[in-house]
Structure 1
């Protein structure tokens, strides 16, 4: 079984695996260390990852991107409307969830964001299993720290659809911190001052700042802040807007009206941005961008910095917020670790460095740090790996409260309580106590809706407590509910039970008087019995059933979607296998046509050659006409027909090749035998000479005596 960590990114995904006493980032089918986070749909099959990227330009309306940022959202959310600017597929509402409408297998289909992520994770699972040659089932996956309960549940549901079990959803910056801390052997001990590190992570779509305290064997997250709409794609968009204006003035084309031209310009702008991170100026050239017009531009780094100045002005805000929440000053930070591809932009380095007034650190792999941290976390949670003990203490991002209806028997009862405050350690468990005579409901929601991303609903879940009734004396039942914010950052009422006040006896602790050095014995020499008192204690008497309603999918729906995903996966595999068979047939035709006048020529008569040529020509004509789109079995049948005719000729060639090989081997063995015989003969000759010499020396010794 493999230990896999997945950094699910908005643009691309990296997969880390624990092996070879360390963490490796695995490569995909085209040997890339990252896989594009795209799902595309075609007339025959789906395209996922690299294949979706290959056909993106020609299939824009049916290619869905920004998968992670759509998870657990609704179409009405303003954040989702922003995502429509970055994905070319049409976003639609599907029973309150955002999804995409695409043309798949020749007809219109709608898939929710959860389904789309499940499709993508199925591909990641297949890629990892192929690279590792082992089944993949248990994973740790990263999420932005600003993800809500609903968004996290969506990712877990998507993983279930893909047949993956999530051991932990870990915040991006917490994964980075784990990957930073676990290999270090010089962390301070519990008695020493902790090492404080600020992780600045600016990726493709968002920006996160996290302050972490490290001690030997543990990390404590002190503060996490973010800007959800400050990332590499925002720099790209600013540059594309500038280029669009320039192309309109210079070349009289408006790329805003042409989605393909716009998408190609975004790709070119991203490359240009990367070049400008290392150079002060760079050219841009795109052939046949629109209306057969070739475009060119030349951009200075200063121009780019001026274009993105509104973005750069926002850089210090999360830094200030993080320090304020952690109650620290810039000088209290020991190290500033820069992570994420966008932190390569020189202006960003300068602003962050000036804010802290000290050099920045780039000891972590900026692109792969999250995946490595996820793999470490998975190894810690897996029983098959031995990992150095390292505790991870994350914190709650949003305060969570419970609300309930007031009991008619308790007129002054409060009806809400904030149970998990922002900054509380996570995972965490709290026991809620209620006095009731009948079943009751309570709801969990975020206490500060204005802090949530976009206009996310603050509602988390509804919990109905059953089996509640008054006792024999018509008094309240004391109900206890165990509320837990788990490793994933997801809230649940794990269990319910009721207790009764029971009177028990317990010893009264005695205070020792000064000067007492030993216990005194009673007059009869026996130890004095302790004094007892009666106290009331609550004893658990039974369980209370709790029914749960959350935004997550129910088990039946997940099983149905998993079955549908498996069906689509097998259909994709059949299409891929059919295409492979078609390509194999085409290659075999060309290969055999060359060999019949080459290596097979002396083994076939002219009549046989003409017969094979005719069959090859006939099959080739069929392949480019009727055989353009047929089944795998038909391609296999056509291949067998050719092999049946060419078989005798190929067999003669193979027989001669085999005979030549056997003769060559026989000759080599005979030569080797002769060589060994010569060596043995020389060895015997040497031994005989040595014996003659010894006998001669012995005779001389006798004469001298």
Structure 2
């Protein structure tokens, strides 16, 4: 039901002819799941090489120094535990003193860490000469995800949404982005793990939500390395045209980033190790053996899962340590006793999530369990007892996270259009902002806050105070605008409000330069410039400056042109000049016609009236004016990361990409070599079994020939496992070609034993059919000439004669002899006959002769006939169309009459 249901729910269609698939990666600490979506194919999880829907998030190196992934890496924990790294994402953005890094040693993992001098981050020492950053270790796993997705999609995969714990801070989130870049992926967005599950849950159940009341769901997630609780409200929002849209809002999140399923695994491991020590007190300490502890670690995880459904389990581990076996019966009650300090830690996040959401237990409608460790019996009982209601099982805890991330990838991608569903996530940390110079923060609004200076002589005690920028639980993506009065460039510092850990410093320049550029003797600033900085929480939960500009209000003096009335001497001079012009016009008019002159005199008298022109006499002058104008200038923002662990820079990322590509290149070569070797091996095994056992091969070969071939095959098999064990693909291709050439004569005779009789039978059937159809041509197909019929008959006779001769030769040979002819020769010999018959069949039939009446009509209308022969329509006499038109009209009238009745 999974894939068909998603195909119905997911409303996707093509936006252009060129698309790329997108993926969603549920990157768990212990397991990864990859969802894939392609245009026209819907959405589903990607299967790995073992056809499983989830893979281990381990990666490392084998004894030959070759990189291995997933289950291949995890299975080496018992042999090379120090070279296999799991829980790599928990190292992102951490230094060697971080509790998560120290926990590996506390839990007995045989890993060695150093400090990256460039970033301060913990670096993994896989071997003496093999050191990788945490971003690279995570990139190994992401590269594996990319490979299996591309194999499934049959095309390149680049865009991805990757899940992360909600408690990841700026350094961890940036490190995950960089790890994806190293793996060749473009992060459309990071997505909180519980939110990915919630999106899939809400998308599937949208029809159950109401526009009047929210459905509140707690997502209880105990994963392998951390514990997270989210309270999410689902609803339907009424939109345009009375159409409802699904919506989810994360009300609150809470976590314990150190409590995970691996601590419960450790409890089982301690039981097993203690029992082994008890059974074999004189043997060296099992805890000092990385290999033995690796075996116990794998077995502990399996036993924990079994005890989730069974009250006891009989354990048997052979040759665990120094060839000693371990056998015991482990009970769930003993396991729970060992976890007595872990279970109480489940309660505080449950209480916190309600407090932060301002809700009571009764407000929660459903409880969804996600994360592998929630299968532990007592873990489920604790949440049921806390809320006083049973947990729900309506979500696939293994797959929903990856599918939710994939749906979100489709929502963000331009290649798909997804049914509208609103997502509002919650950022768990409060972020403080302060000025790095002489500014005193003051109170402001929600999204537009002021940080104005009190003045240039601000009291030093008031400088550099923290101000809340984003409160804990802020919805994101989100933007926040802060403003301040500044005359100089400034620095803004961000830090976590909880513990004051610095995040970044933003150096904002261009304020003083803009002020200097805009100011001159005719343009002076009014007050201090207003600097505005817009901080943003991206969809990935990363902090950055989205926009920064300065607004400078200026008092400007400028020149303007105005028209003013003439007065006094200016007006008198203008009137005198006009009177002279009128007199000149009258003198010119006197020389013309008397009547015309009279008219012109009358007009002239009218136009020479000074009283009528006094009000319209004006002149233009330049005057100075003042105005206020606000000028806006973009500012330059430079970020300096202040966190204890720095992100990789572009050069370091490029170096890591190159190292990853070298590993991928080596893997591709090994894959090609292995595939070529497997072909040789498969051919040897197949032919070595077929030649002595297949009855057909026994017929077409002698005993001596078969013995010789089997001997050659066995020698080749020995070569394959000895000197030919590790060669390149070209050597294996050449060997396969050699073996096929050796077996080819016998194989050909064996295949012809079946193919030749079949080809002969089909050919004779075709010849008989051809003879019969030729006989019908004379009577039914006048377009076929006698010469063509005779030609086909002759070709058929020649073929029959040739085939009879070949069969006569074949009957004289034994099956072990080379055949007199091959099935392919029969087909080739028959082909010219088939082509000739097809050519004749396609000949057009002759047109039927015209009747006498038609011929007479044609003779009476030569023009029309000629036009018709030329393919043109001739125009018939008008009277010839009238009866037809009348008939049509009559039919129309009758039809109309019927309709009226």
TM-score, scaled to structure 1: 0.83
Cα offset for 1:621? Answer: 4.2
Cα offset for 1:479? Answer: 2.4
Cα offset for 1:131? Answer: 1.7
| Counterpart Cα distance in 2 of 1:619 and 1:545 | 71
Contact 1:16 1:372 in 2 (8 A): yes
1:346 paired residue number:
377
Matching of residue 464 in structure 1 with residue 464 in structure 2: no
Task: Check 1:343–1:617 CA distance in 2 against 1; reply closer, same or farther (3 A cut).
Answer: closer
1:100 paired residue number:
124
Q: Deviations over 1:612-648 (max 9, x none)?
A: 5564455444333332323222222222333333334
| Counterpart Cα distance in 2 of 1:399 and 1:443 | 14
| Counterpart Cα distance in 2 of 1:661 and 1:227 | 74
| Max Rg structure | 2
Cα offset for 1:151? Answer: 0.3
Query: Which of 193, 201, 221 is residue 213 of structure 2 equivalent to?
Result: 193
| Counterpart Cα distance in 2 of 1:276 and 1:669 | 71
After alignment, is 176-185 or 67-76 more displaced?
Answer: 176-185
Helix, strand or coil at the partner of 1:575:
helix
Instruction: Give unpaired runs (5+ residues) of structure 2.
Output: 1-19, 237-245, 440-455, 557-626, 771-901
Matching of residue 567 in structure 1 with residue 596 in structure 2: no
Cα offset for 1:169? Answer: 0.7
1:411 paired residue number:
458
Helix, strand or coil at the partner of 1:569:
helix
1:624 paired residue number:
721
Contact 1:64 1:87 in 2 (8 A): no
| Counterpart Cα distance in 1 of 2:187 and 2:391 | 34
Task: Check 1:248–1:444 CA distance in 2 against 1; reply closer, same or farther (3 A cut).
Answer: same
Mapping of residues 469-480 of structure 1, within 5 Å: 469=512, 470-471=515-516, 472=519, 473=524, 476-480=528-532
| Counterpart Cα distance in 2 of 1:163 and 1:119 | 11
| Counterpart Cα distance in 2 of 1:283 and 1:240 | 15
Contact 1:140 1:166 in 2 (8 A): yes
Contact 2:226 2:259 in 1 (8 A): yes
Q: Deviations over 1:429-470 (max 9, x none)?
A: 1123243334333332212228xxxxxxx3322322232314
Comparing both structures, which one devotes a greater share of its residues to helix? 2
Matching of residue 333 in structure 1 with residue 364 in structure 2: yes
1:40 paired residue number:
60
Cα offset for 1:224? Answer: 0.4
Mapping of residues 465-544 of structure 1, within 5 Å: 465-469=508-512, 470-471=515-516, 472=519, 473=524, 476-501=528-553, 539=630, 541-544=632-635
How many aligned positions are there? 634
Q: Deviations over 1:218-253 (max 9, x none)?
A: 111111001112222111111211221122112335
Matching of residue 304 in structure 1 with residue 399 in structure 2: no
1:590 paired residue number:
685
1:578 paired residue number:
673
Task: Check 1:467–1:502 CA distance in 2 against 1; reply closer, same or farther (3 A cut).
Answer: closer
Contact 2:162 2:187 in 1 (8 A): yes
Mapping of residues 324-403 of structure 1, within 5 Å: 324-403=355-434
| Counterpart Cα distance in 2 of 1:429 and 1:381 | 19
Matching of residue 119 in structure 1 with residue 108 in structure 2: no
Task: Check 1:659–1:376 CA distance in 2 against 1; reply closer, same or farther (3 A cut).
Answer: same
Matching of residue 16 in structure 1 with residue 28 in structure 2: no
2:481 paired residue number:
431
Q: Deviations over 1:131-161 (max 9, x none)?
A: 2323222111110010011001111111111
Matching of residue 447 in structure 1 with residue 497 in structure 2: yes
Cα offset for 1:127? Answer: 0.5
Task: Check 1:537–1:273 CA distance in 2 against 1; reply closer, same or farther (3 A cut).
Answer: farther
Helix, strand or coil at the partner of 2:397:
coil
TM-score, scaled to structure 2: 0.66
| Counterpart Cα distance in 2 of 1:410 and 1:485 | 34
| Higher RCO (CA < 8 A, seq sep 6+) | 1
Helix, strand or coil at the partner of 1:182:
helix
Helix, strand or coil at the partner of 2:404:
helix
Contact 1:268 1:284 in 2 (8 A): no
Mapping of residues 17-416 of structure 1, within 5 Å: 17-18=36-37, 23-42=43-62, 43=64, 45-84=66-105, 85=107, 87-95=109-117, 96-103=120-127, 108-190=129-211, 192-216=212-236, 217-252=246-281, 253=283, 254-407=285-438, 409=456, 411-412=458-459, 414-415=463-464, 416=466
Aligned CA RMSD, in angstroms, stands at: 3.0
| Counterpart Cα distance in 2 of 1:371 and 1:24 | 9
